[in-house]
Structures are given as C-alpha cells and as structure tokens.
Amino acid sequence: MGNVKATAQESPDNQPLIGSSCHRVIIGLGKTGLSCARYLYSQGLPFKMMDTREGPPGAAQCRQLFPDVPLHTGGFNEQWLMAADELVVSPGIALSEPAIAWAMDNGAIAIGDIELFCRAVNATSAFSPDKKPLVAITGSNGKSTVATLVGEMVRCSGLNPGVGGNIGTPALDLLDDDSIDVYILELSSFQLETTHSLRATAATVLNLSPDHMDRYPTMVEYHQAKQRIYKGCGTAVFNRDDPLTSPLLPVTAGAVTFTSGTPDLGQMGLLADDDGIWLSKGLEKQINTRQMKLRGRHNYLNALAALALGEAIGLESSAMFQALMAFPGLQHRCQWLGERDGVAWFNDSKATNVGACVAAIEGLGEGLEGKVILIAGGDGKGADFSDLQPAVERYVRHLILLGRDGPAIEQAVKNSAVIHKVASLDDAVSLAAELAKPGDAVLLAPACASFDMFNSFEHRGDRFAELVNGLILC
C-alpha cells in the first residue's frame, strides 16, 4: 500500500466478538449513537436503542431508518439493562450513571463506537495487504490540530486519509470508504473509557492538564482513561515535557518523544539559531518554523508530534514537510489567514478565555520580528483579566478593544500597550491595518465569549476572516 507500513496487531483480548445472540443496547441517540446503529444494522446484528430524553433529536431519524428496532425514550429501561450483554454507550454519558453502573455490576460490558470500529479493523488479518495503519491521538489540547495535520501529511504522500472519531466523521462511518489508506482517530477520554481492542500502529497522548473534572473524581481517573490509548500500540509518541503522557504500559515496537527543548538522539525537539527555531530530529534540523504558517510553541510541539506519528507509519519526510508548510491551522484556532505588506493576520476567535488569549499572544509574539496588534474584548463572563498584563506588556504594541468588557480589559492591562477603543469588528480590522508595520502580526484573540456582538465564536471568526480577506485581496 504505497509507502506506508502497517504494524501487525493482536486480536482483541477479553472482549469476545459476540454475534447475533448478543443482547445489545445503544444508549444515547446523538451523532455517535446513530453511527453505531447504522453500523450494527448494516451488519445484521440485533440491538435496541435508548435515550433518557423524552424527545431526543435523533428519535425521528431512528424510527425512519430502523423501523423494526425497539426504541425507548424518557429514561432508562431497567428490563433492557438487566438483559443486556453489551451496552453501547455514547461518550457524553458517564459510566458512573447508576443505571449503567448497576448493569455493569450484573455482567454487562460497556463499549462504545471506537470499540466497534477497532473490532472491525482487527478482524482483518495482520498480514493482509488490506490492513490499514491506524493512528490514535488524544490529549487535553491540540488533538484536533494534530489529527488534521497528520491527515494532510498522508494526503501529501499521495494516499487517502480517513480522519474521524472525536473530530468530524464518526469512526464507524469511515469503514464505508474502501479508498481510505490510513485511519487517523482523534479520541477523547470518554471514548477511550469504553475501548478495549484498540491496537494502534502509532498512538500519542500530547499533553495532560485538568479537564472534565465534573466527570472524573480526581486527575488520576482522567490520566488512566487517556493512558488506554497506548495499549498494544506499535509506536508510542509522547511529550518529554509532560511526564503524565509517558506510557505506563510497555509498547510493542518502541517510543518516540518530542520536546520544546533540545531533543535526544533520534527524538524530536526544537533547536534555535540565528535563522530562527527549527523542528529537529536529534541534532538534524528538519524544517525552519518560519517556513510554516502555524505559529506558537504549542503548535511547534503539535507539529513535532505529527512528524513522529507520520514517520511511525512510514511517510516520507518530504511529503510531511510539504504538508507542514501549507497547513494554516484549524479554523478559528490561531488560524493563519494571510499576509500583506509584511503583516500576517491570525484568527483565534476560539480564544474565549484569558488563558487561551495569553497562549496565543506568547505563541505568536515569541517568533515575530515585530510586535502583535491584538484585537480583544466581548463578553468576559466575569473573568479576571489581570493575567493578560505580562503577555501584553512583552509582545503587544497596540491593543484594540471592543465589546461589553473592553473597558475591563483596559483597566487590567493599562500602560502595557497603546490602547484603542472601537465600536465594531469592522472598525477594529480597519484600524489594525493602519497601525501594523512590516514584521507585525494582527491577532484576533478576544479572551471573551462572543455573545454580546455575535451568535458564536465561529460567527465572530468568520466575520473577521471575511474582513481580512477583503483587505488582503483588494
């Protein structure tokens, strides 16, 4: 299969492939639940469907597509749970839910859509030419960027990537496309909880910080869920700067680390010289970050992880570098929009809190010849903006404020930059174009929600991109 290698994978353990005699109940009629139903129905495997909501949005579609499948809404059907062998649980539903926990205590196995996907993939002989590499990606931050970037690397290699899971296409829907050469799955901790048969060719935990603490009693449980991605993987790719990403279980073939510091021999890291910051393997400089549209140290780490994952499945370096230089980033996430007269424009409308704004400022500012022109403001939801001050003082020349909490940001960072107040995003873009000099970057990173002026952060970011494109293309 082209220039990609597949790693032999073990058959699923402890999770028998139960056939038509299995009593299955799909719990949750969201996007994932519907994908599970479509898959089981196509395989001729019986199941029932359940949702605790009285009128879940997927109910009408279920009745139309699966008229002979029993459907229960408005609560848990205890008789169904009592008889179930497998519970196909949607990621948004906690296994600690009393009704589900009770069924599991009485012998039911909790699985999810990723488990069904892995069983189907593992059913292919490890030595078959049809065996397709599987890249699995998780982490608290950056997993969508890395999954998309690995997909672009595969595409630049002349192959067809299937990117899905927690991003875009449900994993099971990827099985319908025979033209896919490489599976690339972004996986959440919720999905990993119910996955038992994952045997990835290459897997990574990018980073780990407290998240979903409303679901996990402590950080330990969250950590354990993420670690499941490494079970049986061929190559584990992990972050040397974050000990929690290091595999707790032995890996089949080996491990590759990435770091923001100097890499060890054969590992991935960053090297700096008079020409800038380089993505490097050992002491071998591979690509200068100035050649990339992605900006910021966090994105350089994402790029290193993507390179390591791509190498683990046999992609050529030249194709991966080509993808890296072309990739603008995900929409609304420090997304490169373009450049005119030496000024680069970035859309980080998704930076709806102070921490995300600081990360964007520092990530861009660190590598600039000039300074950041920052556009911020909106609905701060009662946030304390004082943490913006150090980053603004160090990297920002002009701060353009708008929205309900523009005045609050001004008070928090006064005297750290030249402050301008505008009435609209249109005015902000026009003013930024006047103020920016060659070597500067204009950054929309509001540190606020959008609802005082826009329908969503996407709406805000789309309007910003539209205005910037008008400037650059005129």
Q: Which CATH number belongs to the domain containing residue 188 in this structure?
A: 3.40.1190.10
Same-domain pairing of 217 and 288: yes
For 104, phi then psi, to 5°, come to: -65, -35
Same-domain pairing of 286 and 236: yes
Same-domain pairing of 322 and 345: no
212 included as an active-site residue = yes
Same-domain pairing of 319 and 430: no
Residue 188 is part of which domain span?
Answer: 117-326
Query: In the listed set 294, 326, 358, which residue is the last one of a domain according to the structure?
Result: 326
Q: What are the start-end ranges of the H helices in 15-54?
A: 31-42
**Is 14 inside any structural domain?**
no
Q: How crowded is residue 343: how many other Cβ atoms within 10 Å of its Cβ?
A: 21
CATH number at residue 97: 3.40.50.720
What element of type H or E holds 256?
Answer: strand 254-258
Query: In the listed set 267, 299, 326, which residue is the last one of a domain according to the structure?
Result: 326
**Is 3 inside any structural domain?**
no
d(CA 74, CA 114): 26
For 440, phi then psi, to 5°, come to: -85, 170
**Is 2 inside any structural domain?**
no
CATH number at residue 466: 3.90.190.20
Same-domain pairing of 347 and 277: no
**Is 422 inside any structural domain?**
yes
143 included as an active-site residue = yes
Same-domain pairing of 264 and 133: yes
Same-domain pairing of 107 and 121: no
Of 261, 295, 297, 296, whose CA–CA distance to 280 is shortest?
Answer: 261
Q: Report the DSSP pairing between strands 268-273 and 48-51.
A: unpaired
Catalytic residue from among 131, 132, 143, 293: 143
**Is 36 inside any structural domain?**
yes
Catalytic residue from among 31, 212, 223, 459: 212
Same-domain pairing of 207 and 252: yes
131 included as an active-site residue = no
CA 53 from chain centre, in angstroms, equals 28
Catalytic residue from among 48, 77, 132, 166: 166
**Is 275 inside any structural domain?**
yes
Same-domain pairing of 90 and 202: no
d(CA 348, CA 297): 15
Q: What is the pTM of this model?
A: 0.83
Can you give the pLDDT of all 474 residues of the chain as single tens digits? 444 544 333 334 444 445 567 899 999 999 999 999 999 999 999 999 999 999 998 899 999 999 999 999 999 999 999 999 999 999 999 999 999 999 999 999 999 999 999 999 998 755 566 689 999 999 988 899 999 999 999 999 999 999 999 998 999 999 999 999 999 999 999 999 999 999 999 999 998 876 677 788 888 999 999 999 999 999 999 999 999 999 987 665 689 999 999 999 999 999 999 998 999 999 999 999 989 988 888 889 999 999 999 999 999 999 999 999 999 888 888 899 999 999 999 999 988 888 889 888 998 898 788 999 999 999 998 888 999 999 999 999 999 999 999 999 999 998 999 999 999 999 999 999 999 999 999 999 999 999 999 999 999 999 999 999 998 866
DSSP letter at 440 equals: -
